[in-house]
A and B are shown apart, each in its own frame.
Chain A
Amino acid sequence: AQTVTQSQPEMSVQEAETVTLSCTYDTSESDYYLFWYKQPPSRQMILVIRQEAYKQQNATENRFSVNFQKAAKSFSLKISDSQLGDAAMYFCAPNAGGTSYGKLTFGQGTILTVHP
């Protein structure tokens, strides 16, 4: 079974600054994907960025990038030039392979506050 740990229940950042959210996970799979999802208050879950575990290059999506360390099973999210609209709960979620294809295991989340 997969486990996911997000050790920062809450984080805050000033607008235009950079913040990093941490995530570690445990899996016995060799081939999997990792995702960061964003859930704004009372709104639905939105994919922020994804990383294929077999790729060494870290994924980047505009202001969002990841630091993926496969051996350490670490998958942190960096948000550059933070904007007020980035305020949300952020979830790290690896997916399962094999017969559980696609099933996501979520961490407990990090609440991000952006100060103007």
Chain B
Amino acid sequence: DTGVSQDPRHKITKRGQNVTFRCDPISEHNRLYWYRQTLGQGPEFLTYFQNEAQLEKSRLLSDRFSAERPKGSFSTLEIQRTEQGDSAMYLCASSFGNEQFFGPGTRLTVL
């Protein structure tokens, strides 16, 4: 499978816990994006990387959120001290040109 992969696919956590998600982009893609999607809504941009450089962060990304892309390959998104409002689908996408290819998402439920 040469598509974008995300791990885990589902995560249930208790409020206050830290969680980390991983995204593996398509291998030759230099750009990687994170979006958040709540039920019945369109995805909202969180952050994006070109190679290992994080070039933009949305105001949605509070100080509890951090993303990395070491060596310009896979990326991780960490949420510290989770809140119930963090419950959502977290989508990763990668691109080389203008078309973004999306992964299956990680569904986070904060109890």
What distance in Å separates the Cβ of B104 from its nearest Cβ neighbour in chain A?
Answer: 5
Of A4, A37, A44, A108, which is within 8 A of B103 by CB?
A44
Complex-state Cα separation, A95 to B35, whole angstroms: 14
Determine if B44 and A106 form an interchain contact, defined as CB atoms under 8 angstroms apart: yes
Spot the interface stretch: A11-19, A72-80, A97-105.
Answer: A97-105
Q: List 18 A-B contacts (CB under 8 A).
A: A35-B99, A44-B103, A44-B105, A45-B43, A50-B98, A50-B99, A91-B42, A95-B98, A99-B55, A101-B31, A102-B31, A102-B98, A103-B48, A103-B56, A104-B45, A106-B42, A108-B41, A109-B41
Complex-state Cα separation, A35 to B44, whole angstroms: 15
Complex-state Cα separation, A45 to B56, whole angstroms: 22
> Which residues of the partner chain A approach B91 to less than 8 Å between Cβ atoms?
45
Q: How many residues on A have C-beta within 8 angstroms of the other chain's C-beta atoms?
A: 24
Q: Is the interface of A mostly helix, strand, loop or mixed?
A: mixed
**Does A84 reach chain B (CB closer than 8 Å)?**
no
Q: How large is the interface on B (under 10, 10 to 19, 20 to 34, 35 or more residues)?
A: 20 to 34
> Which residues of the partner chain A approach B44 to less than 8 Å between Cβ atoms?
106
Of B56, B102, B104, which is within 8 A of A100 by CB?
B56
Chain B interface residues toward A at CB < 8 A:
31, 33, 35, 40-45, 48, 50, 55-56, 91, 93, 95, 98-105
Of B43, B99, B104, which is within 8 A of A106 by CB?
B43
| Chain A positions 20 through 54: 1 when the CB is less than 8 Å from some CB of chain B, otherwise 0 | 00000000000001010100000111110010000
What distance in Å separates the Cβ of B53 from its nearest Cβ neighbour in chain A?
Answer: 11
> Which residues of the partner chain A approach B43 to less than 8 Å between Cβ atoms?
45, 91, 104, 106
Determine if B56 and A99 form an interchain contact, defined as CB atoms under 8 angstroms apart: yes
Residues of A63-116 at the interface with B, using a CB-CB cut-off of 8 Å, are: 91, 93, 95, 99-109
